[in-house]
Amino acid sequence: MSNVGVYIELRGDEFKKANREALGLARSSGKDVYAIIFARDISAYENEFKGIPKVIQIKNENLTYQPDVYAATIANIMKEHQLNDLLGVASAQGKDLFPRIAANTDGSIINDCIAVDFDNHTVKKPVYAGKLISTFKLSGEFRIITIRPNVFPVKEKGSDNQPEVIETGIVKVEEKLKIIDVIKSETKKVDLTEAEIIISGGRGMKAKENFKILQEVAEVLNAGVGASRAAVDSDYATPDMQVGQTGKVVNPKLYIACGISGAIQHFVGMKTSKVIVAINKDPEAPIFKKANYGIVADLFKAVPLLKEELQKIL
């Protein structure tokens, strides 16, 4: 009998919200679910794994993400435990790791999926810069899938039963690529790919220091702060904030675009947002054709007023 594996991606020691979405999707398959986690101690995540039959815990003195080692280890686990379907998150790490797992298992792979049919081995994903939704059929013994965050619901666990924990070690392989250092950001930012609310700035922000007014709104809403490519190229924002075709694809419940014209490069990265609000002083800006709500105003006047009103409400 085939089973479904879910790779649990941690941010430091934090359990990412998108993992819950992947676990919920795996449970909906009706098959036995195996969570795969690289961690020396999983006691902090016990509540996350309730109702799951088995957790494969990979333990080692050094568990720093190494793509070749992680891929070989997960591939071995898939073969040993008949995990014919493997789910993960379409994050930066997921897009780096999962193709390597596919190469190790000779499996088929589709990234950034928004629908999965386990019985028919088909998935759906946006293509051509989000203009179309295509259906793909995965063949072969192993099917490897990453899902877009904020698409699948976080489902009830259905059971308080604790899983069987199977401990194993890493697989030693010749590393063609080795990460020698990880430099963490000094500030703890909301992960844009998982954020339910995002406020972004474009070239209209005029200067790096002006992003402070967006950060103030973000603190009120517990939101992430993003940027257009134009803002990043102008050194107003850092590359990790970039939303768009060459940046991050986001899928929040609310996206507030400030001083962003609405070029297709940016729109591709946020078009699946549930509600889009645009603030721009140019009434002819393309962003207004794509937004659910538009405010034609100087953002430096409108955004502070927005913050004041949100503080009253919240």
Of 287, 295, 283, 258, the residue nearest 271 (C-alpha) = 287
Q: Please give the biggest Cα pair distance in the chain.
A: 61
pLDDT of residue 187: 67
pLDDT of residue 275: 97
Contact 101, 36 (CB under 8 A): no
**Tokens found for residue 265:** 């490069």
pLDDT of residue 43: 93
**Tokens found for residue 229:** 């490519």
pTM: 0.89
**Tokens found for residue 203:** 């070239």
Q: How far is CA 53 from the centre of its chain?
A: 25
Neighbouring C-alpha atoms within 13 Å toward the C-beta of 304: 5
Instruction: List, for residues 171-190, the tens digit of each pLDDT value.
Output: 999 888 889 888 777 667 88
What string of pLDDT tens digits covers the 314 residues of the chain?
Answer: 689 999 999 988 899 999 999 999 999 999 999 999 999 999 999 999 998 999 999 999 889 999 999 999 999 999 999 999 999 999 999 999 999 999 999 999 999 999 999 999 999 999 987 889 999 999 999 999 999 999 999 887 767 788 999 999 999 998 888 898 887 776 678 889 999 999 999 999 999 999 999 999 999 999 999 999 999 999 999 999 999 988 999 999 999 999 999 999 999 999 999 999 999 999 999 999 999 999 999 999 999 999 999 999 98
> If you classify domain 197-313 with CATH, what class do you get?
alpha beta
**Domain parsing of the chain, residue ranges:** 3-168, 197-313
3-168 and 197-313: identical CATH topology: yes
pLDDT of residue 16: 93
Give domain 3-168's CATH architecture: 3-Layer(aba) Sandwich (3.40)
DSSP conformational letter for 243: B
Instruction: List, for residues 65-109, the tens digit of each pLDDT value.
Output: 999 999 999 999 999 999 999 999 999 999 999 999 999 999 999
Contact 77, 142 (CB under 8 A): no
